[in-house]
Structure 1
Amino acid sequence: MYLIKTPEGQQAFKERHADLSQRLRSAFLLFDGNRSLAQVLDATAALGIGKDDILGLVEKGWLEEKAQATESSAAKAESLTAVSAMVPAELDAQSVVRRYQKAYPMAATITGGLGLKGFRLNLAVEAAMGYAQLVELAPRIREAVGDKAYAPLHKALFEAEAT
């Protein structure tokens, strides 16, 4: 089995998450998709790293199988293509700012209402630093809350503004 780091795992590594001890950090660094699980376990045997430790990282979503990563990358690319088709072609800078300022509180409220189920999505919305990042999250929000709850956000992000 070949494992690679997920974006969530890389973030946990960068933030020095408490669940990622120093010995696990050493093993985590070795997962690049080119080394098998057995090779990493052999390399970190002196540190006392076991298969259960690594499977714990997989369960947390910090590591994933290499095959799954390529499938999710293809799905993300397809999703971004669909989203970019929804964005109006001619948006000036002021319009983009207004849309973001109108849509951001809506998105935060919608995802905040999901509770623990939408915790990661809510964090992603709160981390969105502009219109483009919020647009990238739109399909995930729609999937999580359904079309009816998503409709006002869609209108704020994509429909023409009343002048």
Structure 2
Amino acid sequence: MILVKTEAGQQAFRDRTIRLAPRQRSAFFLCDGKRTIEEVQAAGMNIAREDLEEMVSLGMLKAVNGFSQEPALLALAALPSVAAAAATRAPAPIVAATQASSGARSAQDRYKDAYPIATRLSGSLGLRGFRLNLAVEGTTSYEELLALAPKIRAAVGPEKAAELDRALSG
């Protein structure tokens, strides 16, 4: 099956209104309407099928019609668009529901919450923070992001870094 970006998905990607892990961001770039799911996964970026399914469920990606007849993949393609998903749910309640059901936040949850904050903070530094921004975008785990937190805090100041600190603690 071939996946392609939706209009709403491209807008959400630009605005960063939907939080994506770095490997999901890579997968989003690779889903160009030409590559199959297998080719995207074979690109060597540790992209799991669940990452792609989540982006389809969020409406960021959709299947190119008529390419696959596999029942499981057809069900994947039939998932709602981002506009419908945005109308029925917002990202914040999803995080709150996840936290409420599990009690304590996992390292992955903290990473998903802290990553967009860290990229926004390091990106706000402009050229002065270019290397720091690259380092943040290169992280793939909570531990790696936690190790960069002191550098971010030193660059943006403790007031601005407080939001990141709250997201990383948990």
TM bucket (normalised to shorter chain) is 0.3 to 0.5
Normalised to the residue count of structure 2, the TM-score between the two structures is 0.38
TM-score in terms of structure 1 length: 0.40
